[in-house]
Each structure stands twice: as structure tokens, then as C-alpha cells.
């Protein structure tokens, strides 16, 4: 049976990042991906901030970039746009993940495609992985298997998380202004939002997340209709599920760490998860290196991983309160909020914040009672700086 220091389950952004960083640190690393090709099928809006790349030390090659963007435009029901300026990219996500997997392979990792991990068992100080291509052993397992979270399921480590559904069309010839347009239109995305994510040549990913799975497609079709894009050519339909109940209780155990979606790491308001995946992959690799050097892969030793992500990632509960308050606003209340906010909400200085607070307290006190302050805090924590995208 071939033996590894680190076995990574799943070749998404989390797993490819973990495999790359582990191999770069000199660990004998294997990456197991169930599909025949890394990154396919794509199940993502494909946007990623420049800050995320800086954090994991990646330089994007041109072929992975579908567009460069200047930030996020939050679009209110009355059509008014509030800009959050922070640079980033729309990726060809499959090419991006293939690029990181190639870096991992170049750094010495074994990449096993068409190789689903079916089960994992711990014996003494190592793991045996049952895969489609036979058995492998590893001192440490990094679970990057996404919303399916293999280790949580097979080992009963964590409760299943709540999921929110996303669906999108890639359309041709969509008008765009160099921003990721995030539409807060509760009428067409209850407890979620809709988006237009620009890509090269006028193409765009147009989609939504909502907690009403049966209505996802009708809502998306209505959105496309209302924006006058019904006749646009539809290049593809794609989507998937996103964990939306926050980090799982146990992100580590003896010889095991969970990263990315498998750990429930998604940003609560706009459900971005790629940056958190890439960074948690890097953190788990660093901890694996230290544990293997000390010949101690116990849960106690790997608990450092939890300390690392807890110190860096924003506190989920802080954002979720504001998110719930936001999704409780009606269309007209959202429009009132838009009237109060400046057009550029990237950096609201303390004086402007006071002015906004006064307008709410003295003119629109009902918004205050509906959680206006928490909503603004949630927006703040959804920025790239706080791992929002
Ligand atoms: C519609 C939609 C739009 C989104 N838009 C954005 C966005 O624009 N920006 C953003 O930052 N985030 C976005 N997200 C979230 C983002 O896609 C995820 O957070 C991110 O992909 C998580 O990466 P991951 O590597 O943890 O999991 P995944 O990307 O799910 O990768 C897991 C991999 O593991 C493989 N796998 C699973 N089980 C096994 C097994 N047993 N054996 C071997 N392989 C296995 C899977 O095939 C998959 O390749 C979006 C999600 C959806 C659904």
C-alpha cells in the first residue's frame, strides 16, 4: 500500500491549495479527486478578490482570468447602485483550479484523478483510505471534499450543515460596468440575492442563491426577464449547494483537518467560499508540516489549525445577525436604506457614519429597529479584507 504524509480528499480550491502548500513544504502529498478533470463541472460564480491571491501567494496566469473587476455594486430594488471598490477577478474557475493542481504536481504531489475516496479508517497513527483505485495510507488526512464533507459523514464527526442552493446561466452580450452586480431583490431571491458577474467578450454569469430550492429556476427566469435579457444566448446552466450554517463544530481530530466548504467556511452574506478555501488549505498544510516534524499527529497537536483560522476568519455569528436583519427588510425598506447611503460605500468615514446614523434615528427610526446597524456591520464583514470573496 502506497504511503503518504498528507492525503487530501477533493481537488477544489481548498484541496488543490492544501496539496500545493503541503508539497511545497516537502511533505509526501497525494490529492484524490473523484472527477476525471480538476475543476469540472464548475459550480461557482467564479469571482475572487485580488486580496485572496495575495494571501496565498498566487500569481494568476492570463488563461485563468475571464475578467478583471473594480469591486462590487450592491443594487437595491429601485435600481440604485452602491459601490464597494476593491479589485478582483472573475476566473475561468476550472482553469484556475487546474493551475493550482499543476503547481501541486510540479512541487511533487501525486494527483489522482477519477479516484473517489469511499471511506477512511484510522489504525494506530495512520489512516487507510479506500478509493476507487485501491487502498492508500497516510499519516494525515485533509478533508477538502466540499459540501459533502466525507469525514463528517463517514466518521460521524459533525452534524450535516444547512445548505443554500445556487443556480446561474452564462449569458452572452450582457451590459456590464466592470463591477460584480449583487442585487438585493428579496421578491426574487428570498433569504438570498441575485447577481450579474461579468466575463470576457460581454458574457456574464447571471444567477441567484435562495433558500427556496423549488423556486430557484422560476425566480432566475423572472430576473432575466425583468432585466430584458430573455433573448440573450444561454451558453450554459450551472449551480450547486453552499454550506450556510457556519463552521462545523470539529475542524480537526486525530490526524485529520477539515478545510473549505467541508469545514463550513463560507462568508455568510454573499456566500463566497473560494478565498476561505484557499487560505484554510494553506493553514492546514502549515500545521501538518509542524505536526509531522514533531512526529505527533494527535488532535491536541492539530488543534493549532483551529486557533489559526479562528484568529483570522471573521466571527460567523457577527455577520449572521445582520444578514437575517437584511433579509427581513421589504423592497421599500431596502430602497429607503439606499436613499440614506452614499454612492460609494467602500470607506465611510466616522463623520459620514454619524450623519447616516442621525438620518436613520431621526428620520427612519423603523430601520433602526429592524437592525440597520447590524446590516451595515454585515456589509463591512463581507469585504475581501474579511474573506468575503
Ligand atoms: C452557484 C454558486 C456560486 C458561487 N459563487 C462563488 C463566487 O463567485 N466566489 C466565491 O468565492 N465562492 C463562490 N461559491 C462558493 C465556492 O464555490 C465554494 O465555497 C468553493 O468552491 C469551495 O471549495 P472547496 O474546495 O472547499 O469545495 P469544492 O469546490 O466543492 O470542491 C470539492 C471537490 O472535492 C471532490 N470530492 C468530493 N467528495 C470526494 C471524494 N469522496 N473523493 C474524491 N473527491 C471528492 C469534488 O468533486 C470537488 O471537486 C459559489 C458556490 C455556488 C454553488
Atom of ligand 1 minimally distant from the CA of 274: 11
Nearest CA to ligand 1 atom 47: 34
Q: Tell me the CA–centroid distance for residue 335 and ligand 1, in Å.
A: 33
Would you say the CB of residue 45 lies under 6 angstroms from ligand 1? yes
Q: Tell me the CA–centroid distance for residue 265 and ligand 1, in Å.
A: 11
Q: Say yes or no to pLDDT of 134 above 90.
A: yes
| Average pLDDT score, the chain | 95
Work out the burial of residue 201: count CB atoms within 10 Å of its CB; fewer than 13 is exposed, 13-18 middle, 19 or more buried. exposed
Show me where the domains of the chain are located.
2-46+92-161+246-313, 163-243, 317-386
* Fold for the domain defined by 163-243: D-Amino Acid Oxidase; Chain A, domain 2 (3.30.9)
Q: Say yes or no to pLDDT of 347 above 90.
A: no
Would you say the CB of residue 150 lies under 6 angstroms from ligand 1? yes
The answer to whether the CB of 75 falls within 8 A of the CB of 183 is yes
Would you say the CB of residue 273 lies under 6 angstroms from ligand 1? yes
Q: Say yes or no to pLDDT of 27 above 90.
A: yes
Atom of ligand 1 minimally distant from the CA of 259: 26
Nearest CA to ligand 1 atom 3: 44
pLDDT value at position 130? 98
pLDDT value at position 213? 87
pLDDT value at position 71? 96
pLDDT above 70 as % of the chain: 100
pLDDT tens-digit series, residues 57-85: 999 999 999 999 999 999 999 999 999 99
Does 110 or 321 have the greater pLDDT score?
Answer: 110
Q: Say yes or no to pLDDT of 350 above 90.
A: no
pLDDT value at position 37? 98
Q: Say yes or no to pLDDT of 14 above 90.
A: yes
- For range 334-342, the mean pLDDT: 94
Q: Tell me the CA–centroid distance for residue 68 and ligand 1, in Å.
A: 22
How far are the Cα atoms of 199, 259, 277, 290 from residue 97, in angstroms, in the given order? 17, 16, 12, 26
pLDDT tens-digit series, residues 92-126: 999 999 999 999 999 999 999 999 999 999 998 99
Work out the burial of residue 105: count CB atoms within 10 Å of its CB; fewer than 13 is exposed, 13-18 middle, 19 or more buried. middle
Picking from 35, 44, 26, 1, the residue whose alpha carbon sits closest to that of residue 111 is: 35
Three-state DSSP state, 30: strand
pLDDT tens-digit series, residues 247-289: 999 999 999 999 999 999 999 888 999 999 999 999 999 999 9
User: Which CATH number is correct for 2-46+92-161+246-313, 3.40.630.10, 3.30.2130.10, 3.50.50.60, 3.40.190.80?
Assistant: 3.50.50.60
pTM listed for this prediction: 0.96
pLDDT value at position 338? 95
Nearest CA to ligand 1 atom 17: 44
pLDDT tens-digit series, residues 195-242: 999 999 999 999 999 988 899 999 999 999 999 999 999 999 999 999
pLDDT value at position 348? 86
Amino acid at each position: 500500500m502506497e504511503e503518504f504524509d498528507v492525503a487530501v480528499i477533493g481537488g477544489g480550491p481548498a484541496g488543490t491549495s492544501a496539496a500545493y502548500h503541503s508539497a511545497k513544504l516537502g511533505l509526501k502529498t497525494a490529492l484524490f479527486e473523484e472527477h476525471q478533470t480538476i475543476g469540472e463541472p464548475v459550480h461557482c460564480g467564479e469571482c475572487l478578490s485580488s486580496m485572496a491571491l495575495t494571501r496565498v501567494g498566487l500569481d494568476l496566469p492570463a488563461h485563468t482570468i475571464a475578467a478583471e473587476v473594480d469591486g462590487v455594486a450592491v443594487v437595491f430594488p429601485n435600481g440604485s447602485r452602491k459601490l464597494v471598490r476593491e479589485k478582483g477577478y472573475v476566473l475561468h474557475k476550472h482553469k484556475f483550479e487546474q493551475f493550482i493542481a499543476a503547481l501541486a504536481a510540479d512541487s511533487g504531489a501525486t494527483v489522482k484523478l477519477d479516484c473517489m475516496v469511499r471511506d477512511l479508517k484510522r489504525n494506530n497513527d495512520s489512516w487507510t483510505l479506500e478509493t476507487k483505485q485501491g487502498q492508500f495510507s497516510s499519516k494525515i488526512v485533509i478533508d477538502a471534499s466540499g459540501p459533502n464533507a466525507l469525514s463528517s459523514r463517514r466518521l460521524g464527526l459533525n452534524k450535516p450543515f444547512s445548505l443554500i442552493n445556487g443556480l446561474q446561466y452564462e449569458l452572452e452580450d450582457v451590459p456590464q460596468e466592470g463591477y460584480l452586480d449583487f442585487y438585493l431583490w428579496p421578491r426574487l431571491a428570498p433569504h438570498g440575492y441575485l447577481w450579474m458577474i461579468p466575463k470576457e467578450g460581454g458574457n456574464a454569469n447571471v444567477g441567484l442563491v435562495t433558500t427556496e430550492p423549488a423556486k430557484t429556476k422560476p425566480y432566475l427566469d423572472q430576473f432575466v426577464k425583468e432585466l430584458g435579457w430573455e433573448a440573450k444566448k444561454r451558453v450554459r446552466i450551472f449551480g450547486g449547494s453552499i454550506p450556510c450554517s457556519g463552521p462545523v463544530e470539529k475542524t480537526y481530530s486525530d490526524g485529520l483537518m477539515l478545510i473549505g466548504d467541508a469545514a463550513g467556511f463560507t462568508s455568510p452574506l454573499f456566500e463566497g467560499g473560494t478565498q476561505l478555501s484557499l487560505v484554510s488549505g494553506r493553514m492546514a498544510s502549515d500545521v501538518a508540516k509542524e505536526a509531522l516534524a514533531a512526529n505527533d499527529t494527535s488532535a491536541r497537536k492539530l488543534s493549532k489549525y483551529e486557533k489559526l483560522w479562528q484568529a483570522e476568519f471573521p466571527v460567523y455569528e457577527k455577520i449572521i445577525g445582520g444578514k437575517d436583519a437584511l433579509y427581513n427588510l421589504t423592497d421599500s425598506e431596502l430602497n429607503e436604506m439606499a436613499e440614506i447611503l452614499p454612492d460609494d460605500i467602500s470607506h465611510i468615514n466616522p463623520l459620514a457614519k454619524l450623519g447616516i446614523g442621525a438620518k436613520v434615528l431621526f428620520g427612519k427610526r423603523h430601520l433602526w429597529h429592524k437592525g440597520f446597524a447590524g446590516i451595515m456591520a454585515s456589509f463591512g464583514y463581507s469585504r475581501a479584507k474579511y474573506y468575503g470573496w
